[in-house]
Amino acid sequence: MDWLERGVTARADPSRLLKGCKSIICLAYPYSTQKPATPDGFTTARFTEGLTEDYHSRLKRLASPIVNIIQKAFPESKSRVCVDSAPLLERPYALKAGIGFIGKNNMLIVPGHGSFCYLVEVLTTAPLEAGTEKAVHEGCGDCDQCLKACPTGALSAPFLLDSRHCLSYLTIESRNPLPPSAGQKMNRCFFGCDACQEACPRNRDITQTRVCLPSIQEILKMEEQEFRSRFQKTVFWRTGVEKLKSNILAAMGME
């Protein structure tokens, strides 16, 4: 994850992303608790929402009315909408904005909702007044179910994640083949991992799946052109068809 190191300066200083940034508006948008599934019983992490439009572009579009309001109020201002691909400390900002608290699994947990939500930030040069919300002081207490549930031990201690062992990293960000030991720990989930969130008592209604993906055999037979036509606008696109096939084979215990 070299991009984390490359973006360390920008993460500490939002003006690196938007020159003259004076305010940050933090938003949370829920995604479905139903797990996307293939007809043959394989799944992906919930944030993918199956073959729907990639949430990065979708959420930027949903946040655009806020940018328009700011522009009308401050005509000389400039704004930028950021979704998690930008180097920004989005969870600490959401914490400070009063949206929720950070759990031991490092996810932002929204009281009354849970952690199944996307985070969005609107950076602006407009001198907005600070909100009245205060940071949420709730926490996990003695609960450590997320740590126990992590299938690879990537959550070795509260708030400590070793991404090199995290199935989300290994199946999405990493360009390398999955290690031989990973397949039996994937629980038939070939893109991402929700294990720590599924174990969190703050999350509810996590048992349902939704068949909305092609079958495993369909994906394994796909050539680049068909993959492009069916997956290009989804979150699966940046991983690529060969990586997706490799993940599936590992989940099937064939690598």
Positions marked catalytic: 84
Beta strands per DSSP E along the chain: 23-30, 35-37, 79-83, 101-102, 108-109, 117-124, 155-157, 160-161, 209-211
For 65, the token pair is 């009315």
Cα–Cα distance measured from residue 121 to residue 118, given in angstroms and rounded to the nearest whole number: 10
Cβ(116)–Cβ(105) below 8 Å: no
Cα–Cα distance measured from residue 54 to residue 57, given in angstroms and rounded to the nearest whole number: 6
Residue type (1 letter), 162 = D
